[in-house]
Amino acid sequence: AGFAVAPCGAWPAAAPPAPAGAPAAPGFFQRVGLALHRAHLRCQQSVAGKLVANMVKPVSRLTGGLIPACPDNEFAAAVELQAGGAPATGPGGEPLPPPPPPPSVAAAAKIKAEQAEAQLRRDAVAFLAGVDCRYYPEAEAALIASLRADRSECVRMEAAKSLLHCGCCTPAIIAALKICVEGSEADGNPAECSPRVRQIAARALIQCQCRCAASGGALPRPEAPLAAVAQTASPASFETNESAHSAPAPRRDSLWQIWQAAGRRSTDDAPTFEAPTADETSEPALR
Protein backbone atom coordinates (compact mmCIF):
# COMPACT_ATOMS: atom_id res chain seq x y z
CA ALA A 1 0.00 0.00 0.00
CA GLY A 2 1.42 3.33 -0.99
CA PHE A 3 0.70 6.90 -0.02
CA ALA A 4 -1.77 8.84 -2.10
CA VAL A 5 -0.15 11.94 -3.53
CA ALA A 6 -2.31 14.93 -4.22
CA PRO A 7 -1.99 16.40 -7.62
CA CYS A 8 0.11 19.50 -8.02
CA GLY A 9 -1.78 22.73 -7.33
CA ALA A 10 -4.68 21.04 -5.49
CA TRP A 11 -5.84 22.50 -2.16
CA PRO A 12 -6.19 20.24 0.91
CA ALA A 13 -9.66 19.05 1.83
CA ALA A 14 -11.59 21.38 4.16
CA ALA A 15 -12.21 20.38 7.78
CA PRO A 16 -15.59 18.78 8.45
CA PRO A 17 -18.17 21.28 9.71
CA ALA A 18 -19.14 21.25 13.36
CA PRO A 19 -22.40 19.53 14.19
CA ALA A 20 -25.47 21.71 14.37
CA GLY A 21 -26.07 21.20 18.11
CA ALA A 22 -22.51 21.93 19.24
CA PRO A 23 -22.01 25.23 21.12
CA ALA A 24 -19.80 27.85 19.56
CA ALA A 25 -16.34 28.33 20.98
CA PRO A 26 -16.16 31.28 23.43
CA GLY A 27 -14.45 34.43 22.26
CA PHE A 28 -11.59 36.30 23.89
CA PHE A 29 -13.68 38.60 26.11
CA GLN A 30 -15.98 35.75 27.09
CA ARG A 31 -12.99 33.66 28.18
CA VAL A 32 -11.66 36.61 30.20
CA GLY A 33 -15.03 37.03 31.93
CA LEU A 34 -15.21 33.32 32.76
CA ALA A 35 -11.68 33.43 34.17
CA LEU A 36 -12.52 36.41 36.39
CA HIS A 37 -15.70 34.73 37.58
CA ARG A 38 -13.81 31.56 38.47
CA ALA A 39 -11.24 33.64 40.37
CA HIS A 40 -14.07 35.29 42.29
CA LEU A 41 -15.55 31.91 43.21
CA ARG A 42 -12.15 30.61 44.36
CA CYS A 43 -11.66 33.72 46.50
CA GLN A 44 -15.13 33.21 47.98
CA GLN A 45 -14.20 29.67 49.02
CA SER A 46 -10.83 30.65 50.49
CA VAL A 47 -10.19 31.51 54.14
CA ALA A 48 -9.57 35.17 53.33
CA GLY A 49 -12.85 35.35 51.41
CA LYS A 50 -14.78 33.89 54.36
CA LEU A 51 -13.08 36.40 56.68
CA VAL A 52 -14.14 39.32 54.49
CA ALA A 53 -17.70 37.95 54.24
CA ASN A 54 -18.00 37.71 58.03
CA MET A 55 -16.64 41.26 58.42
CA VAL A 56 -19.23 42.67 56.00
CA LYS A 57 -22.21 41.02 57.77
CA PRO A 58 -22.42 43.47 60.74
CA VAL A 59 -21.90 46.43 58.41
CA SER A 60 -24.78 45.21 56.24
CA ARG A 61 -27.05 44.88 59.28
CA LEU A 62 -26.03 48.29 60.58
CA THR A 63 -26.89 49.97 57.28
CA GLY A 64 -30.16 48.07 56.91
CA GLY A 65 -28.99 46.15 53.85
CA LEU A 66 -27.72 49.22 52.01
CA ILE A 67 -24.35 47.47 51.83
CA PRO A 68 -25.28 43.92 50.76
CA ALA A 69 -23.70 41.01 52.54
CA CYS A 70 -21.49 38.59 50.67
CA PRO A 71 -23.08 35.26 49.70
CA ASP A 72 -22.01 32.57 52.13
CA ASN A 73 -23.23 29.49 50.29
CA GLU A 74 -19.88 27.88 49.61
CA PHE A 75 -21.56 24.73 48.30
CA ALA A 76 -23.36 26.64 45.56
CA ALA A 77 -20.07 28.36 44.70
CA ALA A 78 -18.38 24.97 44.39
CA VAL A 79 -21.14 23.68 42.11
CA GLU A 80 -20.97 26.79 39.94
CA LEU A 81 -17.18 26.65 39.85
CA GLN A 82 -17.24 23.09 38.60
CA ALA A 83 -20.01 23.76 36.09
CA GLY A 84 -18.27 26.87 34.70
CA GLY A 85 -14.93 25.24 34.09
CA ALA A 86 -13.21 25.01 30.76
CA PRO A 87 -15.08 22.49 28.64
CA ALA A 88 -13.23 19.33 27.78
CA THR A 89 -12.89 18.20 24.22
CA GLY A 90 -13.78 14.81 22.85
CA PRO A 91 -11.90 12.69 20.37
CA GLY A 92 -13.27 14.60 17.40
CA GLY A 93 -12.62 18.01 18.94
CA GLU A 94 -16.21 18.30 20.13
CA PRO A 95 -16.74 20.00 23.54
CA LEU A 96 -17.95 17.72 26.28
CA PRO A 97 -20.34 18.78 29.07
CA PRO A 98 -18.73 19.41 32.45
CA PRO A 99 -18.83 16.54 34.92
CA PRO A 100 -21.66 16.66 37.44
CA PRO A 101 -20.81 17.85 40.95
CA PRO A 102 -20.69 15.36 43.81
CA PRO A 103 -24.20 14.50 45.04
CA SER A 104 -23.39 15.61 48.57
CA VAL A 105 -22.22 19.05 47.42
CA ALA A 106 -25.22 19.53 45.13
CA ALA A 107 -27.66 18.50 47.89
CA ALA A 108 -25.95 20.76 50.44
CA ALA A 109 -26.10 23.71 48.03
CA LYS A 110 -29.81 23.21 47.41
CA ILE A 111 -30.68 22.77 51.09
CA LYS A 112 -28.63 25.78 52.20
CA ALA A 113 -30.26 27.98 49.55
CA GLU A 114 -33.69 26.91 50.81
CA GLN A 115 -32.75 27.46 54.45
CA ALA A 116 -31.58 30.98 53.60
CA GLU A 117 -35.19 31.86 52.69
CA ALA A 118 -36.61 30.47 55.94
CA GLN A 119 -36.52 33.86 57.66
CA LEU A 120 -38.65 35.37 54.91
CA ARG A 121 -41.23 32.59 55.24
CA ARG A 122 -41.20 33.01 59.01
CA ASP A 123 -41.92 36.74 58.73
CA ALA A 124 -44.78 35.99 56.33
CA VAL A 125 -46.34 33.54 58.80
CA ALA A 126 -46.00 36.08 61.63
CA PHE A 127 -47.85 38.62 59.46
CA LEU A 128 -50.69 36.15 58.83
CA ALA A 129 -51.17 35.84 62.60
CA GLY A 130 -52.94 39.21 62.65
CA VAL A 131 -55.29 38.40 59.75
CA ASP A 132 -58.88 37.27 60.21
CA CYS A 133 -59.34 33.98 58.35
CA ARG A 134 -63.07 34.63 57.91
CA TYR A 135 -62.32 37.53 55.59
CA TYR A 136 -59.10 36.09 54.10
CA PRO A 137 -59.59 32.35 53.45
CA GLU A 138 -56.19 32.12 51.75
CA ALA A 139 -54.54 32.85 55.10
CA GLU A 140 -56.00 29.62 56.49
CA ALA A 141 -54.45 27.50 53.72
CA ALA A 142 -51.10 29.28 54.10
CA LEU A 143 -50.99 28.67 57.87
CA ILE A 144 -51.87 24.99 57.46
CA ALA A 145 -49.21 24.54 54.76
CA SER A 146 -46.60 26.27 56.93
CA LEU A 147 -47.49 24.08 59.91
CA ARG A 148 -47.52 20.75 58.11
CA ALA A 149 -45.54 21.04 54.87
CA ASP A 150 -42.65 23.44 55.54
CA ARG A 151 -39.22 21.85 55.86
CA SER A 152 -37.80 24.35 58.37
CA GLU A 153 -38.59 23.81 62.03
CA CYS A 154 -38.53 27.53 62.79
CA VAL A 155 -41.28 28.15 60.21
CA ARG A 156 -43.46 25.35 61.61
CA MET A 157 -42.96 26.69 65.12
CA GLU A 158 -43.90 30.20 64.00
CA ALA A 159 -47.05 28.78 62.38
CA ALA A 160 -48.01 27.06 65.64
CA LYS A 161 -47.46 30.31 67.56
CA SER A 162 -49.59 32.19 65.04
CA LEU A 163 -52.44 29.70 65.46
CA LEU A 164 -52.10 30.06 69.23
CA HIS A 165 -52.50 33.83 69.21
CA CYS A 166 -54.81 34.40 66.25
CA GLY A 167 -58.53 33.68 66.06
CA CYS A 168 -58.44 31.23 63.14
CA CYS A 169 -60.13 28.16 64.63
CA THR A 170 -61.75 26.64 61.58
CA PRO A 171 -62.37 22.87 61.31
CA ALA A 172 -59.49 22.52 58.84
CA ILE A 173 -57.06 24.21 61.24
CA ILE A 174 -58.28 22.07 64.15
CA ALA A 175 -57.72 18.93 62.06
CA ALA A 176 -54.20 20.09 61.11
CA LEU A 177 -53.38 20.79 64.77
CA LYS A 178 -54.60 17.32 65.78
CA ILE A 179 -52.40 15.68 63.13
CA CYS A 180 -49.42 17.75 64.29
CA VAL A 181 -49.93 16.92 67.97
CA GLU A 182 -50.49 13.21 67.35
CA GLY A 183 -47.43 12.93 65.10
CA SER A 184 -49.52 11.40 62.35
CA GLU A 185 -49.07 11.32 58.57
CA ALA A 186 -52.76 11.33 57.73
CA ASP A 187 -52.45 14.39 55.48
CA GLY A 188 -49.54 12.97 53.48
CA ASN A 189 -46.87 15.13 55.11
CA PRO A 190 -44.09 13.81 57.37
CA ALA A 191 -44.95 13.31 61.02
CA GLU A 192 -43.97 16.15 63.33
CA CYS A 193 -40.96 15.08 65.40
CA SER A 194 -40.10 18.40 67.05
CA PRO A 195 -41.33 18.43 70.67
CA ARG A 196 -41.38 22.22 70.72
CA VAL A 197 -43.69 22.45 67.71
CA ARG A 198 -45.99 19.75 69.10
CA GLN A 199 -46.17 21.46 72.50
CA ILE A 200 -47.18 24.82 71.03
CA ALA A 201 -49.62 23.09 68.66
CA ALA A 202 -51.22 21.29 71.62
CA ARG A 203 -51.81 24.60 73.39
CA ALA A 204 -53.31 26.07 70.23
CA LEU A 205 -55.55 23.01 69.81
CA ILE A 206 -56.88 23.26 73.38
CA GLN A 207 -57.57 26.96 72.94
CA CYS A 208 -59.44 26.38 69.66
CA GLN A 209 -61.51 23.57 71.16
CA CYS A 210 -62.48 25.73 74.14
CA ARG A 211 -63.39 28.61 71.86
CA CYS A 212 -65.55 26.42 69.62
CA ALA A 213 -67.26 24.86 72.66
CA ALA A 214 -68.07 28.30 74.04
CA SER A 215 -69.58 29.40 70.73
CA GLY A 216 -71.71 26.27 70.35
CA GLY A 217 -69.43 24.49 67.92
CA ALA A 218 -69.77 27.09 65.17
CA LEU A 219 -67.77 30.20 64.54
CA PRO A 220 -69.65 33.52 64.57
CA ARG A 221 -70.54 34.76 61.16
CA PRO A 222 -68.66 37.91 60.15
CA GLU A 223 -70.50 41.13 59.72
CA ALA A 224 -71.55 42.09 56.22
CA PRO A 225 -69.25 44.73 54.75
CA LEU A 226 -70.61 48.08 53.72
CA ALA A 227 -70.25 47.20 50.04
CA ALA A 228 -72.84 44.42 50.42
CA VAL A 229 -75.58 46.82 51.54
CA ALA A 230 -78.15 47.51 48.84
CA GLN A 231 -77.83 50.77 47.02
CA THR A 232 -81.53 51.50 47.62
CA ALA A 233 -81.11 51.67 51.39
CA SER A 234 -81.87 55.07 52.86
CA PRO A 235 -80.86 56.38 56.27
CA ALA A 236 -83.55 56.30 58.95
CA SER A 237 -84.89 59.59 60.23
CA PHE A 238 -86.39 60.31 63.64
CA GLU A 239 -88.94 63.06 64.29
CA THR A 240 -88.74 64.64 67.72
CA ASN A 241 -90.34 67.63 69.36
CA GLU A 242 -87.46 70.03 69.19
CA SER A 243 -89.38 72.81 70.97
CA ALA A 244 -89.91 70.69 74.10
CA HIS A 245 -86.42 69.28 74.36
CA SER A 246 -84.41 72.00 72.74
CA ALA A 247 -81.65 73.38 74.91
CA PRO A 248 -81.01 77.10 75.06
CA ALA A 249 -78.43 78.31 72.64
CA PRO A 250 -75.10 79.09 74.28
CA ARG A 251 -74.32 82.76 74.74
CA ARG A 252 -71.38 84.17 72.87
CA ASP A 253 -70.27 87.17 74.88
CA SER A 254 -67.09 89.07 74.31
CA LEU A 255 -64.31 89.17 76.87
CA TRP A 256 -65.25 92.75 77.80
CA GLN A 257 -68.84 91.76 78.58
CA ILE A 258 -67.66 88.81 80.65
CA TRP A 259 -65.29 91.06 82.63
CA GLN A 260 -68.05 93.63 83.29
CA ALA A 261 -70.46 90.92 84.43
CA ALA A 262 -67.82 89.53 86.79
CA GLY A 263 -67.27 93.02 88.26
CA ARG A 264 -71.00 93.52 88.86
CA ARG A 265 -71.28 90.17 90.58
CA SER A 266 -68.37 90.96 92.87
CA THR A 267 -69.95 94.34 93.78
CA ASP A 268 -73.35 92.83 94.49
CA ASP A 269 -71.92 90.06 96.66
CA ALA A 270 -69.78 92.42 98.81
CA PRO A 271 -71.04 92.79 102.45
CA THR A 272 -72.63 96.17 103.38
CA PHE A 273 -72.14 97.96 106.72
CA GLU A 274 -74.65 100.50 108.11
CA ALA A 275 -73.34 103.67 109.78
CA PRO A 276 -74.04 103.83 113.54
CA THR A 277 -76.68 106.32 114.73
CA ALA A 278 -76.08 109.19 117.17
CA ASP A 279 -77.70 107.31 120.08
CA GLU A 280 -75.36 104.35 119.59
CA THR A 281 -72.26 106.53 119.51
CA SER A 282 -73.15 108.64 122.59
CA GLU A 283 -71.85 107.51 125.94
CA PRO A 284 -74.39 106.18 128.42
CA ALA A 285 -75.45 108.71 131.09
CA LEU A 286 -74.16 108.21 134.57
CA ARG A 287 -76.72 107.50 137.16
SS3 31: helix
pLDDT above 50 for 108: yes
pLDDT above 90 for 31: no
pLDDT above 70 for 256: yes
- State the Cα–Cα distance between residues 180 and 185, nearest whole angstrom: 9
| CB contact set of 174 (below 8 Å; sequence gap of 6+) | 205, 208, 209, 212
Q: E strands within the chain?
A: 88-89, 95-96
Tens of pLDDT, residues 46-97: 777 778 777 887 888 788 777 777 666 555 655 555 555 555 555 555 555 5
Query: Quick check: 204 and 177 in contact, CB under 8 A?
Result: yes
pTM of this prediction? 0.50
Q: What is the pLDDT at residue 189?
A: 92
Tens of pLDDT, residues 142-159: 999 999 999 999 999 999
> With bands split at pLDDT 50, 70 and 90, how would you rate the model's confidence at 119?
confident
Give me the residue spans of the domains in the chain: 30-86+100-116, 118-214
Q: What is the pLDDT at residue 197?
A: 94
Q: Other C-beta atoms within 10 Å of 90: how many?
A: 9
> With bands split at pLDDT 50, 70 and 90, how would you rate the model's confidence at 11?
very low
- Closest among 46, 44, 34 to 84, alpha carbons compared: 34
The winner for highest mean pLDDT among 13-22, 52-61, 64-73, 225-234 is 52-61
